Structure 1
Amino acid sequence: MMMKAVLVDDEPLALGFLKRQLEKVSSIQVLETFTYFDSSSNISVIKETDIVFMDIEMPERNGFQLAEQLLELNPGLEIIFVTAFNQYAVQAFEVHALDYILKPVQTERLKKTVKRAEERINAKQEAISEKPTKLCINVSGELMFHLTNKDPEIVTWRTLRARELFLYLLHNRDRSINKDVLTELLWAEVDQEKAYAQLYTTIYHIRKTLSNYRDYLTLKSVQGGYKLILSNTIIDLYVWEKKLKNLSTLEGQTIPIAEELMAIYKGGYLQEYGYVWAEAERVRLEQQWVEAAQQLAAYYHDQGNFSSAERWYRELCNKHPDDEISNYQLFKLYALTGKNKLAEKQYQIFKKALEDIGTGVPHTMEKWYMNWKQGIARKTSM
């Protein structure tokens, strides 16, 4: 394979010499040479490049700073430092450089470096050519991580606050959250200095916990705060929400799809943890489930499939015992299908649920219930 390279050195003579040396290596194509590299105006070049050979000591900006910027533009880039000084070796590898070559560059040494680069790039391309693995984060009910080629995993967190901090950053994914917001959320009861210390320790524990998922989740330090960045990662309830919105009108062909979608919803958004900051989102997503379940129940009822209609109305009443519409429909369905004892039991459950929140059965429902009871009594006496 032909690898594409960019060369950066503020000394034109050194730049020219390196280019000539690389031209002796058949697997390298030099795209561009720069005595000063402006990353903002050369984005397309860097995205096309496989390897960058660069000097470390350059005016205005050193090679380490430039390397960080280039890796942000093209994370798959291989960086090779070329310099006259060897005191930078350790720092070079800290920024994930592939290699470190001393000037003047020797041809045989350069060939070894290029071979290493070729092996690394080939390995990456083979990994890309395989079926990509996705990370699914399940937030329906309890938090779980699920790689597509493995069983779901309940992640073990060092502390409860580490889990909450991760989930809060996930809740605000791809947005920078100020440190003060985080300390106020989790350590409002302690002074600022101690709160910051707790925050830094907790961030460290989160990074360690997420180390096995570093290809999918990046916890990035930004000015004054932190940001959680997701790559090749999906969140179950948001995939569910999108698919639900894209579902066409319920009919014979779409009903199986709707049933499969509703099976994804295992529980409310992070409902196992009771976070106040997650409540509004939980209610919003729960309402979408309620509306979809009501539509399914109504569809089955209209089609005369009373057992399926009953199943969905029961689901609705179990999740929301005080829901008037679902309870009313279930009463009437039980009455229609002759399940009088179940109708009576459901009415009493509903009545108790309303009493627990300080209200009573709506007049319309109470009137229907009394008329139904009288009708049952007349039939019994005949």
Structure 2
Amino acid sequence: MKAILVDDEGLALRDLERQLEKIGGIEIAGKFQNAADALQRIGELSPDVAFLDIDMPEISGLEAAERIHKINEEIEIVFVTAYHEYAIKAFELAALDYVLKPINADRLAHTLERLKQRTSSRPRESAPSVATVGCFRRLNIEYGKAEPFSWRTVRAQELFAYMVYKRNQPVRKDILLDLLWPDTEYKKAFTQLYTTVYQIRKSLEAAGLTIRLTNSGSDYYLDLGNNRYDVQEWEQGRLSLPELSPETAAEHLAWLQSYEGDYLSETDYVWAENERKRLRDIWYKHALALSEMWKAAGCRKETLEVYDLIETRFPFSEEVYFMAMQFYADNGDLEMAKLKYDKLCAMLDEEYGIAPSLAVRQWADTVFGR
């Protein structure tokens, strides 16, 4: 196993080298007293692990770790620091471990044992799993395994869901703090944010996924890579539909029926409401267009089938009932129109304790002769 050591203090660098050689199992591929030199040689040396001092001039160990992972994310990072407060930041950057100065031999040996376990369990040849991230009804990740994707905390699950919503665009950390920890003291909230990001990264890594949650100073950024996202695919499916006509209606109906449930509807995420409404509106307008096409074509059965589909998706919408009532009445079926009106009255009374709107009541009075 190859390692590079980076520390601007020569004595500290030699001490770390001496202790690593004493423990054994590590080949020192390079020693550097500044991060810039190490970054220039990282590709050539191909280390398995980089031991980085955090407090260095020009390029800190934290910044160097980010750059190393952009070059090769498989390189493990171990921070060496004299300060406890860097620990949270270290784990935010998905470091394997951090070691406090002055270095304790037993503590360093423990770090090396963790490193061996990590590298020995890492798959070398198998291709990464291609996952499907689902957000219809609930957050779900299908990744080719029977066991469900495991989230360490409910907060990690929500943070990931929000980053999927904001995929491929930077999200400021202060926005995440206000969203997920609005009533938590600022410093404690930051600690929880860093911990939660670390948990997400570890869960993705354990599942062998190529989804990346990266940090760029004040922002986080989620890159889904070549993984699939059901909401995005559903929207793209609409764009690929042929022009709506009786001949192509089956394809449009199949697209409507592929809508598996409202966006994250089984959660109480307040931020998800706008996206939920946007997707529902897309579905609703397309269903209306399909019903109007069948109506214009004089196809009663097909029109009513679409109305029933809309009512199933929007069971508490007065407008949906009213459309069906008017269609029945226009086709001379006053009995069915009256049944639909009575159903509307019962629904509104049971759900909201109200009567139909004045316009609907006036229409009913005119049509049913009240």
TM-score normalised by L of structure 2: 0.61
Which residue of 2 is the match for residue 313 of structure 1?
A: 307
Match for residue 196 of structure 1 among 167, 182, 190: 190
Which residue of 1 is the match for residue 295 of structure 2?
A: 301
Contact 1:354/1:361, CA 8 A, preserved across alignment: no
**Amino acid corresponding to residue 295 of structure 1 in structure 2:** A
* Distance apart, 1:169 and its partner CA: 1.4
**Amino acid corresponding to residue 372 of structure 1 in structure 2:** V
The higher radius of gyration belongs to: 1
Work out the number of aligned pairs and report it.
281
* Distance apart, 1:278 and its partner CA: 1.4
The farther-off stretch of 321-330 and 180-189 is: 321-330
* Distance apart, 1:302 and its partner CA: 3.2
Structure 1 residues 194, 73: CA separation in 2 closer, same or farther (over 3 Å shift)? closer
- Does 2:154 align with 1:160? yes
Which residue of 1 is the match for residue 368 of structure 2?
A: 373
CA-to-partner distance for each residue in 1:265-309, whole Å, 9 max, x for gaps? 112221211322111111111101000111122223333443332
Equivalent runs, 1:211-226 vs 2, <5 Å = 211-226=205-220
**Amino acid corresponding to residue 370 of structure 1 in structure 2:** D
* Distance apart, 1:352 and its partner CA: 5.2
Contact 1:354/1:360, CA 8 A, preserved across alignment: yes
Which residue of 2 is the match for residue 119 of structure 1?
A: none
Match for residue 263 of structure 2 among 266, 269, 275: 269
CA-to-partner distance for each residue in 1:175-194, whole Å, 9 max, x for gaps? 33233322222222221232
Q: Report the secondary structure of 1:249's partner residue.
A: coil
- Does 2:362 align with 1:361? no
Contact 2:129/2:208, CA 8 A, preserved across alignment: no
Partners of 2:241 and 2:357 in 1: how far apart?
35
- Does 2:136 align with 1:140? yes
Contact 1:321/1:349, CA 8 A, preserved across alignment: no
Q: Report the secondary structure of 1:226's partner residue.
A: strand
Which has the bigger relative contact order, CA under 8 A and spacing at least 6? 2
Match for residue 70 of structure 2 among 69, 72, 84: 72
Contact 2:149/2:207, CA 8 A, preserved across alignment: no
Structure 1 residues 317, 213: CA separation in 2 closer, same or farther (over 3 Å shift)? same
- Does 2:232 align with 1:234? no
Partners of 1:191 and 1:301 in 2: how far apart?
59
Partners of 2:342 and 2:368 in 1: how far apart?
13
Contact 2:134/2:231, CA 8 A, preserved across alignment: yes
Partners of 1:53 and 1:189 in 2: how far apart?
47
- Does 2:286 align with 1:292? yes
Structure 1 gap ranges (5+): 1-35, 43-50, 79-93, 96-121, 378-382
Contact 1:351/1:361, CA 8 A, preserved across alignment: no
The farther-off stretch of 134-143 and 319-328 is: 319-328
Equivalent runs, 1:326-341 vs 2, <5 Å = 326-335=320-329
Q: Report the secondary structure of 1:286's partner residue.
A: helix
Which residue of 2 is the match for residue 170 of structure 1?
A: 164
Structure 1 residues 133, 157: CA separation in 2 closer, same or farther (over 3 Å shift)? closer
TM-score normalised by L of structure 1: 0.59
* Distance apart, 1:331 and its partner CA: 1.0
Identity of aligned residues (%): 28
Structure 1 residues 146, 301: CA separation in 2 closer, same or farther (over 3 Å shift)? farther
Structure 1 residues 54, 296: CA separation in 2 closer, same or farther (over 3 Å shift)? closer
**Amino acid corresponding to residue 144 of structure 1 in structure 2:** N
* Distance apart, 1:368 and its partner CA: 3.4
Q: Report the secondary structure of 1:145's partner residue.
A: strand
CA-to-partner distance for each residue in 1:62-89, whole Å, 9 max, x for gaps? 9x9989757636879x9xxxxxxxxxxx
CA-to-partner distance for each residue in 1:38-94, whole Å, 9 max, x for gaps? x9xx9xxxxxxxx745799xxx989x9989757636879x9xxxxxxxxxxxxxxx9
Partners of 1:141 and 1:316 in 2: how far apart?
18
* Distance apart, 1:228 and its partner CA: 1.7
Partners of 1:123 and 1:279 in 2: how far apart?
42
Structure 1 residues 157, 328: CA separation in 2 closer, same or farther (over 3 Å shift)? same
- Does 2:343 align with 1:345? no
Q: Report the secondary structure of 1:291's partner residue.
A: helix
